[in-house]
């Protein structure tokens, strides 16, 4: 750690304490060159991966967009706000735990579809119809049939 007073690169840790909340570490340091003391704090920094869109552009992950997509698909469906929030949290946790710095938007779409399939089958079909750009009724029928097979314990088609 560089000394903030003389910019010397060698400092010594004198004392280390964990905060009461347990979310940071406080360290008292002493510069070996100028002998001045200072305090540093360590905190966990979790960064969501950057989203790579279909056109190749990159944008920051926006949980409000995720929430908007889920709410649109779930509009007028009997799903509680708590269940939606929990689904958003699970998606965010999956993205964070992936450890990736970038994630393609299609992967987020798949995570949303997985969550919607658990929450509400109608919302899943609504989202899938836009996400997968259904062109005709046959594609709707295939998606509905896939849900039916999963309900009966069969494996979905890939």
Backbone region of residue 36 per phi and psi (left: phi > 0; alpha: psi in -120 to 50; beta: other values): beta
Instruction: Indicate if 71 and 140 belong to the same structural domain.
Output: yes
Confidence band of 133 (pLDDT split at 50, 70, 90)? low
Mean pLDDT of all residues in the chain?
86
Instruction: Indicate if 103 and 139 belong to the same structural domain.
Output: yes
- Print the domain residue range for 65: 50-151
Into how many domains does the chain fold? 2
What's the angle, vertex CA 94, arms to CA 91 and CA 97, rounded to 5? 150
What residues are paired with 16 via a beta bridge? 27
Instruction: Indicate if 37 and 56 belong to the same structural domain.
Output: no
* pLDDT value at residue 129: 75
* pLDDT value at residue 153: 59
Of residues 126 and 3, more confidence is placed in 3
User: Of 88, 81, 86, which Cα lies nearest the Cα of 48?
Assistant: 88
Instruction: Indicate if 136 and 70 belong to the same structural domain.
Output: yes
Instruction: Indicate if 60 and 121 belong to the same structural domain.
Output: yes
Q: Residue 67 pLDDT > 80, yes or no?
A: yes
* pLDDT value at residue 156: 46
Q: Residue 98 pLDDT > 80, yes or no?
A: yes
Q: Is residue 78 part of a domain?
A: yes
Of residues 27 and 127, more confidence is placed in 27
Separation of alpha carbons 126 and 122, rounded Å: 6
Separation of alpha carbons 119 and 116, rounded Å: 5
Instruction: Indicate if 29 and 75 belong to the same structural domain.
Output: no
Q: Is residue 1 part of a domain?
A: no
């Amino acid at each position: 750690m560089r000394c903030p007073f003389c910019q010397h690169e060698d400092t010594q840790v004198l004392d280390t304490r964990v905060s009461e909340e347990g979310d940071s570490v406080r360290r008292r340091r002493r510069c070996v060159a100028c002998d001045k003391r200072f305090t540093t704090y360590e905190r966990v920094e979790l960064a969501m991966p950057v989203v790579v869109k279909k056109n190749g552009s990159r944008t920051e992950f926006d949980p409000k967009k995720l929430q908007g997509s889920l709410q649109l698909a779930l509009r007028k469906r009997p799903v509680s706000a708590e269940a939606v929030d929990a689904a958003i949290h699970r998606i965010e946790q999956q993205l964070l735990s992936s450890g990736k710095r970038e994630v393609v938007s299609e992967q987020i779409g798949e995570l949303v579809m997985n969550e919607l399939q658990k929450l509400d089958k109608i919302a899943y079909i609504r989202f899938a119809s836009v996400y997968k750009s259904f062109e005709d009724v046959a594609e709707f029928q295939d998606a509905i049939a896939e849900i039916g097979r999963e309900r009966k314990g069969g494996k979905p088609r890939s």
